Amino acid sequence: MSTHVSNGGSPAFYTVAEAAELLRVNPATLYRAIREDAFPAVRIRSRYVVPAAALEQLVAEVAASGGCVDPARLIAERRTARELDARLGGEAR
């Protein structure tokens, strides 16, 4: 797994290949979702890494809902909230 380690001994970031393996999807599918801004990732030059916290949040959302979770919907909601916050000058919080 990843060599980037957080304080708890777990990786703070996963490579796209590692995250895809954890999610049981093809890495190309995950890359496509990332490029479409439908899945969270950090871009460092030409490379993407997936925050472990994003995967943990996805798992928590699935467990809480008891159903199918659409990461693209979650990202769109966060993007909308960020845009609203930016337009209101940070007053939306």
The string of DSSP letters for 13-45 reads EEEHHHHHHHHTS-HHHHHHHHHTTSS--EEET
Q: Judge whether 20 lies within some domain.
A: yes
pLDDT tens track for 18-47: 999 999 999 999 999 899 888 899 999 999
User: CA dist 68 to 21, 51, 58, 73, Å?
Assistant: 19, 21, 10, 11
Report d(CA 61, CA 12) in Å as an integer: 19
The pLDDT, as a whole number, for residue 22 is 93
The pLDDT, as a whole number, for residue 3 is 46
Structural domain count of the chain: 1
Domain that residue 35 falls in: 13-87
Report pTM. Answer: 0.69
CATH number at residue 17: 1.10.1660
Which H or E element spans position 83? Answer: helix 71-87
Q: Judge whether 38 lies within some domain.
A: yes
